[in-house]
Amino acid sequence: MVDKLTAVKGMNDILPPESARWEWLEAIVRDLMGLYAYRNVRTPILEHTALFVRGIGEVTDIVEKEMYAFEDRSDKHGQAEHLAMRPENTAGVVRAVIEHNMLYEGPKRLWYTGPMFRREKPQRGRYRQFHQIGAEALGFAGPDVDAELILLAAALWKRIGLTDVRLELNSLGQPAERASHRAQLIAHFEQHADKLDEDGKRRLHSNPLRILDTKNPAMKAVVDSAPRLIDFLGADSLAHFDGLKAILDTNGVAYTVNHRLVRGLDYYNLSVFEFVTDRLGAQGTVCAGGRYDDLISQMGGKPAPAVGWALGIERVLALLEEEGAAVPAPVPDVYAVVPAAAAMPVALQVLQQLRACGVSVQMHAATAEGLSSFKSQFKKADASGAAFALVFGADELARGEVIVKSLRDGSGAQVARPLHAVATWATTLQSPAPNQ
């Protein structure tokens, strides 16, 4: 007996009807990005490992423990490339912007969607292959674009009916300000080294800011008493943060300032933000981002400011399900009942004309046992969710007609329609598009 093959742990198939939820969300995102004038960018899944080491930070958990990195086969010169499956996509977008000189003509607003990969312990809302939607604004320096991105995310929550998320903000200031804070932070934690867990001790001198992001309740007191970064910020950094808050206040976007919010990637400065929830357990971050003004120059490009965010598709859909929010399920407008194989040529011709008019049609097709009975086909028509059944009976076809039978209004009304003028009655079969 041949062993059954299964998917790699933490890398999941997305099957109907669940895939329809993904398509629904992606369609809303695509429309919303267009309203905000963000243009789609698509980057490779495989990149050089050095891109993420330089872009994300060598001492981050992603690079140290989670990244899928490998040595590719040697080329004809005996040289092997070190490649990685992207664990996030900001670095890839920045690489593409630099490589193709995209900022030469001015700033750009870009968005992306696709799979990312991290070798983590699979759990709800966190998988080894997961999917993100992200938006990046490159070349803009002011807090107005930081606010625009937050408003864009807030508009998405409203459109999809997501209510149980809250916005948290912080400012990481500039590198010099962070350096002053870092020195004080290390001194504070050294004085309380006995209170640090293993992760805290490991990060003490390499990335002490990340200790503030600990989820260990035993470290809460020592973290809460640590020096606050905001107290080290200069006038320009504070003005940027105040400008962001003022725009959000004017637009009625509620938020809290979380002084422990630091984000997990090294490239952030100034504004950082997260939309979080309590409904998904430990994986409470739904959408996160911030400003990364130095990343473009760190990766070899001409210095330019930038800001962006990314959301986890799995987490958003899980949260919608947790909240009981309605997600439209796609159903055909019409189910075609074809009692006899002899009717198939004409039936398919009519259905093609309907589809050309924008009518969604599901045709009953023969299985290995042949066509189902008339009664069985009607049961499947009803189960499909279609509003109408088209019945291609022999008598009707002989008269040049097809029967349109209502399935949803309880009347069971039916009317004969001419086969020679399908376009004239096709629109009577269409359902309103979702979210209209």
User: Tell me, what CATH number does 42's domain have?
Assistant: 3.30.930.10
H/E run at residue 338: none
From the list 315, 309, 311, the residue with the least C-alpha distance to 290 is 309
Tell whether 248 is covered by a domain. yes
Q: How far apart are CA 269 and CA 199, in angstroms?
A: 23
Query: Three-state SS for 308?
Result: strand
Q: Are residues 296 and 166 in the same domain?
A: yes
What's the pTM? 0.86
Tell whether 436 is covered by a domain. no
Cα distances from 20 to residues 40, 112, 212, in angstroms, run 21, 19, 39
Question: How many structural domains compose the chain?
Answer: 2
Q: Which pLDDT score, from 0 to 100, does residue 201 have?
A: 86
Domain region containing 425: 334-429
Tell whether 383 is covered by a domain. yes
Q: Are residues 284 and 342 in the same domain?
A: no
Q: Are residues 343 and 416 in the same domain?
A: yes
Structure tokens at 34: 């267009």
Tell whether 24 is covered by a domain. yes
Yes or no: say if 300 and 182 are a contact pair by the CB < 8 Å rule.
no
Q: Are residues 309 and 376 in the same domain?
A: no
Q: How far apart are CA 321 and CA 205, in angstroms?
A: 41
Q: Rounded to the nearest 10 degrees, what angle do helices 143-160 and 235-250 cross at?
A: 30
Q: Are residues 46 and 149 in the same domain?
A: yes
Q: Which of 274, 298, 323 delimits the end of a domain?
A: 323
Q: Are residues 260 and 310 in the same domain?
A: yes
User: What's the farthest any 2 CA atoms get from each other in the chain?
Assistant: 93
Contacts of 403 (CB under 8 A, 6+ apart): 390, 391, 393, 396, 414, 415, 416, 417
Tell whether 293 is covered by a domain. yes
Q: Are residues 282 and 340 in the same domain?
A: no
Tell whether 340 is covered by a domain. yes
Q: How far apart are CA 62 and CA 84, in angstroms?
A: 12
Q: Are residues 24 and 116 in the same domain?
A: yes
Q: Are residues 99 and 150 in the same domain?
A: yes
Q: Are residues 72 and 112 in the same domain?
A: yes
Q: Which of 303, 323, 343 delimits the end of a domain?
A: 323
Structure tokens at 216: 């260990």
How many CB atoms neighbour CB 171 within 10 A?
28
Report the CATH number that the domain containing residue 420 is assigned in CATH.
Answer: 3.40.50.800
List own/partner pairs for 187-195 with CB under 8 A and 24 or more apart: 188/222, 188/225, 188/226, 188/227, 189/222, 189/226, 192/222, 195/219, 195/221, 195/222
Cα distances from 382 to residues 27, 179, 317, in angstroms, run 27, 66, 28
Q: Which pLDDT score, from 0 to 100, does residue 282 have?
A: 65
H/E run at residue 149: helix 143-160
69-88 exposure pattern, b = at least 16 Cβ within 10 A, e = fewer: beeeeeeeeeeeeebbbbbb
Tell whether 217 is covered by a domain. no
Q: Which pLDDT score, from 0 to 100, does residue 125 have?
A: 64
Please give the chain's pLDDT, 436 residues, in tens: 788 999 999 999 999 889 999 999 999 999 999 999 999 999 999 999 999 888 776 656 666 678 898 888 776 676 788 999 999 999 999 999 999 999 999 999 999 999 999 988 777 667 899 999 999 999 999 999 999 999 999 999 999 999 999 999 999 999 899 889 889 989 998 888 888 888 888 888 877 877 887 888 888 888 889 888 889 999 999 999 999 999 999 999 999 999 888 776 667 899 999 999 988 776 688 999 999 999 999 999 999 999 999 999 999 999 999 888 888 888 999 999 998 889 999 999 999 999 999 999 999 887 767 787 888 888 999 999 999 999 999 999 999 999 999 998 877 788 999 999 999 999 899 766 554 4
Q: Are residues 149 and 241 in the same domain?
A: yes
Tell whether 121 is covered by a domain. yes
Structure tokens at 14: 């997305």
Q: Are residues 358 and 283 in the same domain?
A: no
Q: Which of 276, 296, 323 delimits the end of a domain?
A: 323
C-alpha angle 281-286-288 in degrees, rounded to nearest 5? 130
Strand order, beta sheet including 108-117: 39-40, 108-117, 129-138, 306-312, 285-291, 269-276, 166-171, 256-257
DSSP state of 227: P
Query: Three-state SS for 160?
Result: helix
Structure tokens at 419: 């086969």
194-216 exposure pattern, b = at least 16 Cβ within 10 A, e = fewer: eebeeebeebbeebbbbbbebee
